[in-house]
Amino acid sequence: MYNPKNPPFKLKTLTPIWTGNIDRDSISAAETGVLGSLRWWYEGIVRSLDGYACDPTDDDVSKRCKFDSDAYEKAINCGENVDEAFKEGLKDVCAVCRLFGCTGLAKRFRIEIKGLKTLPLFFVTHQGVYATNGNWLFRIFGGQELGGQKKGKGMQTEFIFRNSTLWSSDPFDMSFLSIHGDEEKNLHILYYLLWVTTSLGALGAKSQNGFGQVKILNGLNNDMLESGKRYVQEEIQKSKKGENDEKHFNLNNFFSIIYEMKDPAPYEGVGWIVGRAPSNFDYRSYFIPCAFDIRYKSSTRNPFTSRGRDFGMRPFFKERLNSKITSDLFGSLGDSKSASKIHVSHLFKEAPNEKYYLKVWGYVPKTIGVDLKTVTTFLDEFIADKKGMFPGSKKVFEYNPKSVIG
């Protein structure tokens, strides 16, 4: 797919990319996951700019966008040229579907990823909660369904996953190819989306659970981003108008924060592995897959209560807010229908001898019953306070709407 006009981006995995598949199908599964995450971010950007973005997963099919092929044919029969007729067909299609496709309309581009290798799925959890967390992880991440195994009981349980993630310690390539015209517009929007997604969130599926932290090494410049931003505005102007549902992701009322962990990071040395890490791979030089502990349950320490084994972001919020708001923010464990609005990365490093980082991001809808400021204040206390999970960590990045959506 190499095109001298748009050479591939060089990227680097900071945490593994989720595929959910067994080995050989992994790359195409990852490409699908990347597509899904770029689309999700595009929806959030469009809504934050007062444009309309449909929910392509809406149970009510009539609410999803559809290319109007009758209007298209009618225009052709009336002697319109193909471009004009195509515009007729797009009348009820939102800005996002115009790029990512919808019923009757193919997506306008392809993604190709090269240079990633499979890495067995494994997690690190605190030894004090090894059996409980191991069982949850095995259940949530499809251990059983994909033919994994669980042997033994309690602290002696051995968990073996058969699914793989994707990873490379060397840079990998990602290319975009525009396939139905409007090349510059489509590509520049995609480049902008790639930048927003990787800087504020993560690529691919299961990003709420630590996967998909990726860094763009080269291939992207400011002109492309500015141009992408402009094209997004133009697309919004000419696309379908409508009311957005407050519950859907929107870059207003959004936060994304990166913390630098004070060394030595907790979990260095106290973690037990759920699954199997390759023996020749020193994963701690790159990442520690412990997002689950951070979100739900760890036993590193809990100075906030006298209970020893119930310290995690979710229980911490539950003590301060009610259960309903906490469930709305974090989703329900093991229930994919109730998606989490708060995403937590695994701990990751940018280079083997550097400090660990943690990225936390999320959307706090106005209707949820707690405001954004309160959520980020609680997060700060939970993570960096002297009684927090990673005391003394410092904020090194915080999302600023001006730099992203202008």
- Contact pattern for Zn ion over residues 90 through 119, marking x by CB under 5 A: ----x--x----------------------
List, in order, residues 6 or more apart from 262 with CB less than 8 Å away: 355, 390, 391, 392, 393, 394
Options 58-66, 197-205, 256-264, 339-347: segment touching Zn ion (CB under 5 A): 58-66
Nearest distance in Å: CB 16, Zn ion: 31
Q: Which is nearer to Zn ion, 239 or 298 (CB)?
A: 239
Amino acid at residue number 376: T
Cβ atoms within 10 Å of 97's Cβ, excluding its own: 27
137 touches Zn ion (CB under 5 A): no
In the complex, least distance from residue 229 CB atom to Zn ion, rounded to whole angstroms: 20
Nearer to Zn ion, 97 or 265 (CB): 97
Task: Provide, rounded to whole angstroms, the least separation between the CB of residue 52 and Zn ion.
Answer: 8
**Contact yes or no for 396/387 (Cβ under 8 A):** no
Nearer to Zn ion, 234 or 263 (CB): 234
CB 350 within 8 A of CB 14: yes
* Of residues 58, 399, 380, 47, the one with CA closest to residue 197: 399
The alpha carbon dihedral of 173, 178, 183, 186 has a sign of negative
Computed over its alpha carbons, how large is the radius of gyration of the chain? 22
For Zn ion, the binding residues in 64-93 under the rule CB under 5 A are 65
CB 362 to Zn ion: min, Å: 23
Q: Which residues pair with 361 in a beta bridge?
A: 256, 343
Count of residues in contact with Zn ion, rule CB under 5 A: 4
Which tokens is 191 given?
């480049």
Tokens (6 digits) for 325: 């708001």
Tokens of 82: 């193909």
Nearer to Zn ion, 13 or 239 (CB): 239
Q: Which is nearer to Zn ion, 27 or 93 (CB)?
A: 93
Q: What distance in Å separates the CA atoms of residue 147 and residue 329, rounded to the nearest whole number?
A: 32
Q: Which is nearer to Zn ion, 65 or 379 (CB)?
A: 65
Structure tokens at 171: 């840079």
Least gap, CB of 186 to Zn ion (angstroms):
16
54 interacts with Zn ion by CB under 5 A: yes
Residue 46 binds Zn ion, judged by CB under 5 A: no
Q: Give the residue with the Cβ less far from Zn ion, 241 or 276.
A: 241
Residue with tokens 């930048």: 195
Q: How far is the CB of 195 from Zn ion (least distance, A)?
A: 22
Residues contributing to the site for Zn ion (CB under 5 A):
54, 65, 94, 97
